[in-house]
């Protein structure tokens, strides 16, 4: 054995030197790279330190606007901010630092944000849906009330009183809404409907019974077409909310989410029964389709109707170069208010907040004031495909659908969305998700109603 070992060592020694050299080289290389990576960092901090005298100010804004119209709209706002002297372009400059994390309507972003807030290293401003979605942050004392910004800029004079009321919590306002989306829109393919003998005028009121008879007509005359295209879990909740608003009306809807809301009423049972009926007209593979996939079924002529928020308009009619379908409004697709909800605007809004301990608070306040200004809202919204929260928008800048939406926004009664974080907190929404998930498997309305009532009791 030792002979072999001797042989090994004799053979190995020159190889050992070679390999030892390789290892040494690797270690040296690693140290060099590691030091240069660290060194780069060191250099960065020294240069920022020297410019600190001139204002080491970077407005850190955290959002999940990573694609399509929103990214484009945000980019325009950033340009405006960086070049306007009274905002970020002045001296000392406070250039925009766009911190975005994509994924599932902000689920990744929210997780990262939660970590930063707990670690007390907040950004200067972050995106959130206006309304109860911010409740967790409010209760944790992580965002500041911004009534003073509203007063100074006079927002309360230009934004709808219903809107202000619905985003006020215990007398305080916590975010500036940048845009308004409408959730209760019924999209349809006019050609498919025509083949089933139905015509619906764009924006015309539609009652529940009419809609059901339309769905039946499609089912009967066009067996290869899905009457109502549906997508994954959150789109099902979205559909549910429009049905409930239609059955209960905006006041009934709002009352459900107060402490005295009665989820056990017969009215709610009737609404849930409507939802159950609706499900019989939907595609069986709903849970595997995103909202886009479901919407595309309509445009492709494979489905007749789809209930979705008006970002569907951006996808249907927007430019192909931006990842949209480039279809013609009125020809390839059309819309109206969801059944029984004519005159009700089921709204949601992307808004920005002022975190406590924002590193550049003065700039953050300027940012929020800027966001609520007419210029910012009329710059951002036409590109994004939504309407401003302000009532004094210039309709000429908006396309056909958005013009209609602007009109409705001025006239309709407002209902705060559930699915999009307006009327209920995250925890409440999560409980509704669980109840809905179980219902989709069991189709048991009574159990569903019970679960919803329990969720309300727990969270109201």
Partner 1 sequence: MKNIRRWGPGLLLVSPSIILITIFVYGLIGWNVKVSLSNWRQAQPTSHYSGIGAYQDLNHDAAFRQSLAHLLVFTIVFALGTLIIGWTLALLLDKGVKGEGFFRAVFLFPMAISFIAAGIVWRWLMNPAPGNRATGLNVIFDKLGLHALANQWYLDSNPVIGGIRSWGMAAMAMPAIWALSGYVMALYLAGFRGVPEELREAARMDGASELRVYRHVVFPHLKPVTLAALIIIGHISIKIFDLMVAIGGKQGFNTQTPAVYMWIQIYDRSDFAKGAAIATLLLLLISVLVIPYLIYTVRSERRS
Partner 2 sequence: MTATPTTLPAQGPARSKRGWKRVKKARAPTIKYTALLIFAVIVLMPVYILIVTGFKGVAETDPAHAWSLPSIWSLSAWHEAWTQLSPYMLNSFKLAIPATILSTALGCLNGFALSKWRFPGADIVFTFFLFGMFIPYQAVMIPLTELLSKLHFPAQLPQLALAHIIYGIPITTLIFRNYYATIPEDLMEASRMDGAGMLRTLWSVVLPISIPAFVVAAIWQFTSIWNDFLFAVFIITDPSQYPVTVALNNTTGSLVSAYNLQMSAALLASLPTLVVYILLGRYFMRGLMAGALKG
Q: Give the footprint of partner 1 on this chain (CB under 8 A).
A: 104, 107, 110-111, 114, 117-118, 136-137, 139-142, 224, 226, 232-234, 283-285, 287-288, 302, 426-427, 430, 433-434, 437-438, 440-441
Kind of pairing between the strands at 226-229 and 303-308: parallel
Binding of partner 2 at residue 139 (CB under 8 A)?
A: no
Contact flag: residue 182 with partner 2 (CB under 8 A): no
Residue 298 burial (CB count, 10 A): 26
Is the CB of residue 182 less than 8 Å from the CB of residue 346?
yes
117 binding partner (options partner 2, partner 1, none; Cβ < 5 to 8 Å by kind): partner 1
Tell which one of 86, 119, 284, 446 touches partner 2 (CB under 8 A).
Answer: 119
CA distances from 325 to 46, 188, 191, 352, 381 (A): 48, 15, 17, 29, 19
Q: Does 331 bind partner 2 (CB under 8 A)?
A: no
Task: Tell me, by CB under 8 A, how many residues bind partner 2.
Answer: 70
Partner that binds at residue 91, options partner 2, partner 1, none, CB closer than 5 to 8 Å by kind:
none
Could you say which of partner 1, partner 2, none residue 440 binds, taking C-beta under 5 to 8 angstroms by partner kind? partner 1
- Crossing angle of helices 266-279 and 445-459, in 10° steps, is 120
Task: Pick what 1 binds: partner 1, partner 2, none; C-beta below 5 to 8 Å, kind-dependent.
Answer: partner 2
Angle between helical axes of 233-256 and 426-442 (0-180°, round to 10): 120
What the block records as the tokens of 114 is 């939660």
Cite the beta strand spans of 235-383 per DSSP E: 303-308, 334-337, 344-348, 350-353
Do residues 309 and 181 make contact, with C-beta atoms less than 8 angstroms apart? yes
CB-nearer residue toward partner 1: 137 or 352: 137
Residue 78 in contact with partner 2, rule: CB under 8 A: no
Between 205 and 437, whose beta carbon lies closer to partner 1? 437
Of residues 381, 412, 410, 411, the one with CA closest to residue 398: 381
Nearest to partner 2 of 386, 408 (CB atom): 386
Which DSSP symbol is given to 390?
A: B
Closest CA to 344 of 258, 423, 242, 421: 242
Q: Determine, following the binding rule CB under 8 A, whether residue 105 of this chain makes contact with partner 2.
A: yes
Q: Which does 325 bind (CB under 5 to 8 A by kind): partner 2, partner 1, none?
A: partner 2
Among partner 2, partner 1, none, residue 107 binds (CB under 5-8 Å by kind): partner 1
Give min distance, CB of 4 to partner 2, in A: 7
DSSP string, 253-295: HHHHTSTT--TTSHHHHHHHHHHHHHHTTB-TTGGG--HHHHH
171 binds, among partner 2, partner 1, none (CB under 5 to 8 A by kind): none
Query: Does the footprint of partner 2 cover residue 47 (CB under 8 A)?
Result: no
The answer to the question of residue 289 lying near partner 2 (CB under 8 A) is yes
When the beta carbons of 12 and 157 are compared against partner 2, the nearer one is: 12
Give the residue, chosen from 57, 59, 61, 70, that forms a contact with partner 2 under the rule CB under 8 A: 70
Distance CA 205, CA 313 (A): 19
Q: By C-alpha distance, which of 31, 89, 51 is closest to 43? A: 51
Residue 286 has which token pair?
């709903």
Q: Please, what sign has the CA dihedral across residues 301, 307, 308, 310?
A: positive
Q: Which residues bind partner 2 (CB under 8 A)?
A: 1-2, 4-5, 8-9, 12-13, 15-16, 19-20, 23, 26-27, 29-30, 33-34, 37-38, 40-42, 44-45, 64-71, 97-103, 105-106, 108, 111-112, 114-116, 118-119, 121, 288-290, 292-293, 296, 300, 302, 311, 314-315, 318, 320-321, 323-326
């Amino acid at each position: 054995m030792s002979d072999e070992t001797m042989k090994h060592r004799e053979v190995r020694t020159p190889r050992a030197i070679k390999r030892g050299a390789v290892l040494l080289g690797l270690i040296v290389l690693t140290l060099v790279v590691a030091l240069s990576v660290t060194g780069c960092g060191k250099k960065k901090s020294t240069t920022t330190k020297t410019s600190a005298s001139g204002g080491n100010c970077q407005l850190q804004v955290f959002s999940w606007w990573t694609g399509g119209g929103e990214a484009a709209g945000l980019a325009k706002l950033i340009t405006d901010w960086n070049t306007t002297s009274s905002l970020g372009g002045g001296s000392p400059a406070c250039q925009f630092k766009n911190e975005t994390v994509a994924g599932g309507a902000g689920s990744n972003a929210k997780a990262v944000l939660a970590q930063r807030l707990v670690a007390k290293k907040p950004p200067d401003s972050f995106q959130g849906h206006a309304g109860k979605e911010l409740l967790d942050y409010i209760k944790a004392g992580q965002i500041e009330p911004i009534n003073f910004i509203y007063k100074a800029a006079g927002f309360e004079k230009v934004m709808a009183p219903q809107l202000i009321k619905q985003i006020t919590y215990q007398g305080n306002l916590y975010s500036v809404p940048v845009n308004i989306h409408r959730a209760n829109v019924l999209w349809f393919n006019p050609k498919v409907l025509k083949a089933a003998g139905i015509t619906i005028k764009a924006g015309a009121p539609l009652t529940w019974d009419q809609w059901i008879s339309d769905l039946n007509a499609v089912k009967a005359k066009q067996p290869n077409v899905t009457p109502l295209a549906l997508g994954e879990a959150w789109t099902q909740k979205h559909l549910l909310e429009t049905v409930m608003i239609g059955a209960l009306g905006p006041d009934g809807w709002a009352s459900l989410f107060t402490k005295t809301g009665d989820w056990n009423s017969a009215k709610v049972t009737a609404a849930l029964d409507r939802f159950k009926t609706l499900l019989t007209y939907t595609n069986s593979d709903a849970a595997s389709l995103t909202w886009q996939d479901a919407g595309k079924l309509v445009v492709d002529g494979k489905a007749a109707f789809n209930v979705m928020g008006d970002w569907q308009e951006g996808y249907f009619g927007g430019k192909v170069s931006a990842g949209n379908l480039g279809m013609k409004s009125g020809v390839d697709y059309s819309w109206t208010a969801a059944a029984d909800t004519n005159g009700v605007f089921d709204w949601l809004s992307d808004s920005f907040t002022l975190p406590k301990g924002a590193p550049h608070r003065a700039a953050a306040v300027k940012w929020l004031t800027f966001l609520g200004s007419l210029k910012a809202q009329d710059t951002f919204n036409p590109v994004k495909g939504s309407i401003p929260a302000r009532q004094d928008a210039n309709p000429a800048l908006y396309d056909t659908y958005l013009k209609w939406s602007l009109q409705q926004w001025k006239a309709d009664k407002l209902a705060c969305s559930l699915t999009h974080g307006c009327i209920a907190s995250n925890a409440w929404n999560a409980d509704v998700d669980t109840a809905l998930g179980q219902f989709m498997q069991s189709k048991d309305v009574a159990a569903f109603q019970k679960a919803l009532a329990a969720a309300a009791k727990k969270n109201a």
